[in-house]
Amino acid sequence: MKINLLNRFVFFMSASAILFSLSCKTPSPPPSQAAVNPWDTVSNFKGLIIPADGGTINFQMNYTFAGSNIVFGSKQYSNAAGDTFTIKELKHYLTNITLKRADGSELNLQNYNLLDAATASTQNFTLTKVPAGNYVGMSVLLAVDSFRNHSGMQEGALDPGWGLFWTWSSGYIFYRINGATTASQNYSFDLGGDTNAPKVTMDLSSYKVKSVAPKITLLMDVNEMFQNPSNFSFKTDGYTIHSGLDAGAAKMSLNMKDMVTVTGLNP
């Protein structure tokens, strides 16, 4: 009888120890699941989707004059007013690229780039750390915004050493084009001044691209600065612009608001 009771006691203690051990064991965590990026699953969209934060956008600018390639110094071009001329130099700022989201909000990438139509290396640039999102449009400023335009001498693309800075007025030359006419008269247009800052708006909704590093190809038609909505005539509006107040500056800057278009959006 004593042996039977002893066996029961040993069995009870052993079972209790096992149950206590099991109750103290740390439960295994559930299997981990990778975070789902909501942009990866979107299929019905227009424009550009950058699916992950920190995306990059590569830009390329091409130049033509009414569909013809620009040959500096020798090829002759004609505008709507009947002026015939060559192009010797073409430099300009392209800043404040702003992406328009599908919900209507906007994102300014706060870039400042100086492009030279005769130097291919300046016509390609990359903007980084672009937030994830769906972008259906964009705008660019062919100028320097008023804040930076009046912040004195700066660095990078805004370094006065590039030659596009009016020291006499502490402001930037936004757009420079010069050359000669067939009438043996030189022309020189240096466009600047806060009221002459062309903003060009472009649509991306005809494309459908999802990429963390897309490429946007832009085309500048130089002919557009001489037409639409008003024809610019050398004889009537002048052969020179070297101040924001010069005759013809306002007309030219207004014409420039449609001179850049998107010709490609690729992954």
- Cα separation of the two ends of the chain: 86
**Is the per-residue pLDDT at 202 higher than 60?**
yes
Write down the pLDDT at residue 247: 86
CB 112 within 8 A of CB 158: yes
CB within 8 A of 264, min separation 6: which ones? Answer: 215, 216, 217
Residue 200 three-state SS: strand
Question: What is d(CA 239, CA 252) in angstroms, rounded to the nearest whole number?
Answer: 12
Question: What is d(CA 147, CA 42) in angstroms, rounded to the nearest whole number?
Answer: 38
Write down the pLDDT at residue 41: 81
Strand partners, 65: 68
DSSP label of 18: H
Both tokens assigned to 109:
């990438």
- Alpha helix stretches (DSSP H) within 79-164: 146-149
Note if the bond before 229 is cis, omega within 30 degrees.
yes
Q: Where are the beta strands (DSSP E) in 106-154?
A: 106-108, 112-116, 124-130, 133-141
Write down the pLDDT at residue 10: 44
State pLDDT tens for residues 145-175: 999 999 988 999 999 999 999 988 779 999 9
Question: What is d(CA 117, CA 106) in angstroms, rounded to the nearest whole number?
Answer: 29
Q: Where are the beta strands (DSSP E) in 15-121?
A: 47-50, 55-65, 68-69, 77-78, 84-85, 89-101, 106-108, 112-116
Write down the pLDDT at residue 42: 84
Question: What is d(CA 82, CA 207) in angstroms, rounded to the nearest whole number?
Answer: 37
Question: What is d(CA 249, CA 153) in angstroms, rounded to the nearest whole number?
Answer: 24
State pLDDT tens for residues 110-146: 999 999 999 999 999 999 999 999 999 999 999 999 9
Residue 224 three-state SS: helix
pTM across the whole model = 0.85
- The residue ranking higher by pLDDT, 66 or 7, is 66
State pLDDT tens for residues 30-44: 555 555 677 878 889
**Is the per-residue pLDDT at 176 higher than 60?**
yes
